[in-house]
Structure 1
Amino acid sequence: MRRLLICIALAASPGIGMASTCYGTVAHGRLEEGVQLPKDGVNFAAYSSLGVQLGRTYVHSAVREVVVDAYRALEQSMPKTTFVYGETGFAEGGQMRPHKTHQAGLSVDLMVPVLNAAGASVPLPGNAANKFGYGIEFDNAGKFKDLRIDYEAMAEHLYQLSRAAESHKLGITRVIFDPLLTPQLFSTNRGAYLNQHLHFMKERSWIRHDEHYHVDFATPCRPLR
Structure 2
Amino acid sequence: MSARDLRRWNGMSPRGRLHPSRPEPLRVRARRLPPPRERLIHIAREGDTWDLLGRRYGVFDRHLQAWNKDQIGWTLEPGERVSVWIEPMIHDAARNEGPAAGRAALIPAGAHSLGTPQSGRLVAGVQVPPGEGYERRYPNSTWGTTFAVRHLVLTLDEFRQTSGYLGTLMLGSMSFRRGGRIGPHVSHQAGRDIDIRLPVRAGFPASQPATHKHLDWDATWKLILAFARSGAVQVIFLDYAVQRELVHRARRNGVSEPQLRELFQFPAGRHANRGLVRHSPGHEGHIHVRYACGPFEPTCGD
With normalisation by structure 1, the TM-score equals 0.70
Structure of greater relative contact order (alpha carbons < 8 Å, 6+ residues apart): 1
Distance 1:210 1:106, change over 3 A: same
Distance 1:191 1:216, change over 3 A: farther
Q: 1:4 maps to which residue?
A: none
Q: Take 1:75 and 1:211, find their aligned partners in 2: how far apart are those partners?
A: 19
Counterpart amino acid of 1:185? L
Deviation track 1:87-119 (CA, whole Å, cap 9, x = no partner) reads 11111111111101001100010111100xxxx
Q: Take 2:220 and 2:189, find their aligned partners in 1: how far apart are those partners?
A: 24
What fraction of aligned residue pairs are identical, expressed as a percent? Answer: 23
Deviation at 1:38, TM superposition (A): 1.7
**How many residues are paired up?**
183
Q: Take 1:223 and 1:72, find their aligned partners in 2: how far apart are those partners?
A: 26
Question: Where in structure 1 do 4 or more consecutive aligned residues deviate above 4 Å?
Answer: 189-192
Does the aligned pair in 1 maintain the 2:228–2:276 contact within 8 Å? no
Q: 1:27 maps to which residue?
A: 118
Q: Take 1:201 and 1:163, find their aligned partners in 2: how far apart are those partners?
A: 17
Does the aligned pair in 1 maintain the 2:170–2:206 contact within 8 Å? no
Q: 1:76 maps to which residue?
A: 161
Q: Take 1:34 and 1:113, find their aligned partners in 2: how far apart are those partners?
A: 27
Aligned positions of 1:130-169 closer than 5 A: 133=208, 136=209, 138=211, 142-143=212-213, 148-164=214-230, 166=231
Which secondary structure does the structure 1 equivalent of 2:196 belong to?
strand
Computing the radius of gyration over CA atoms, which structure comes out larger, 1 or 2?
2
Note if 1:218 corresponds to 2:292. yes
Q: Take 1:86 and 1:191, find their aligned partners in 2: how far apart are those partners?
A: 32
Note if 1:201 corresponds to 2:264. no
Q: 2:144 maps to which residue?
A: 59
Which runs of 5 or more structure 1 residues have no equivalent in the other structure?
A: 1-7, 127-132
Counterpart amino acid of 2:206? P
Does the aligned pair in 1 maintain the 2:174–2:194 contact within 8 Å? yes
Alignment RMSD = 2.9
Q: 2:206 maps to which residue?
A: 125
Does the aligned pair in 2 maintain the 1:112–1:124 contact within 8 Å? no
With normalisation by structure 2, the TM-score equals 0.54
Q: Take 2:256 and 2:186, find their aligned partners in 1: how far apart are those partners?
A: 28
Does the aligned pair in 2 maintain the 1:74–1:157 contact within 8 Å? yes
Aligned counterpart for 2:177 among listed residues 66, 91, 104: 91
Q: 2:200 maps to which residue?
A: 114
Q: Take 1:191 and 1:85, find their aligned partners in 2: how far apart are those partners?
A: 30
